[in-house]
């Protein structure tokens, strides 16, 4: 078992935290994990991305040419990284920031309205965790319990009062992905 995940957007969107939650969850599942960030000199507004690899075997490279999951949090990231989704992989797009459609043969593409879902939860900042939840819905990469535990550990370190809304965001994101997967499966059946 091995997943290579790339998360990209701009500084301030919580990109690096998404990756850390994933790596923490993988560690709690007793998997090998690496998290490697890449960002510009700006705190906010510059590009920010990170790669997370988790595996049941020792991990060599923390980066790859192709990823099993790409999460694109804005349009420049979609344009840059969508071609790097491996065949059979998943592309998760933050629909709130990306108005243009993207399709490719052989991969699953899901548009998740992260900002709207976060807004409905009463905390606009949790859009990143909504997207992280959508990963769990789109692909059974890790049990949701592990990511919930990671939220309690990592977010609980400094913002214990924000744990609950993040847990809700995680579930809402997962449900949004599951719903879209079901719909696209139904569309496929109807097309036949």
Shortest distance, position 123 Cβ to another protein, whole Å: 25
Shortest distance, position 31 Cβ to another protein, whole Å: 9
For another protein, the closer CB: 163 or 171: 163
**Applying CB under 8 A, which residues contact another protein?**
20, 23-24, 27, 32-37, 58-66
CA distance 136 to 112: 13
Residues whose CB falls within 8 Å of the CB of residue 48, separated by 6 or more in sequence, listed in order: 8, 9, 10, 11, 12, 13, 15, 16, 37, 38, 39, 40
Shortest distance, position 65 Cβ to another protein, whole Å: 4
For another protein, the closer CB: 38 or 75: 38
For another protein, the closer CB: 23 or 121: 23
Residue 6 burial by Cβ neighbours in a 10 Å radius (0-12, 13-18, 19+)? buried
For another protein, the closer CB: 138 or 148: 148
Shortest distance, position 161 Cβ to another protein, whole Å: 22
CB 134 within 8 A of CB 176: yes
């Amino acid at each position: 078992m091995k997943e290579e995940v790339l998360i990209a957007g701009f500084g301030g969107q919580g990109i690096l935290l998404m990756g850390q939650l994933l790596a923490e969850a993988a560690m709690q599942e007793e998997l090998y994990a690496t998290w490697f960030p890449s960002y510009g000199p700006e705190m906010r507004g510059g590009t920010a991305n990170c790669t997370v690899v988790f595996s049941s075997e020792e991990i060599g490279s923390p980066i790859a040419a192709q990823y099993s999951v790409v999460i694109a949090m804005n349009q420049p990231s979609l344009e840059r990284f969508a071609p790097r989704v491996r065949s059979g992989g998943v592309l998760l797009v933050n629909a709130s920031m990306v108005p243009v459609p993207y399709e490719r043969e052989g991969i699953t593409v899901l548009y998740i309205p992260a900002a709207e879902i976060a807004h409905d939860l009463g905390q606009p900042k949790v859009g990143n965790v909504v997207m992280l939840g959508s990963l769990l819905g789109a692909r059974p990469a890790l049990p949701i319990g592990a990511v919930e535990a990671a939220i309690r550990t990592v977010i609980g370190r400094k913002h214990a009062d924000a744990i609950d809304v993040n847990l809700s965001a995680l579930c809402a994101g997962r449900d949004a992905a599951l719903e879209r997967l079901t719909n696209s499966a139904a569309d496929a059946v109807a097309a036949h």
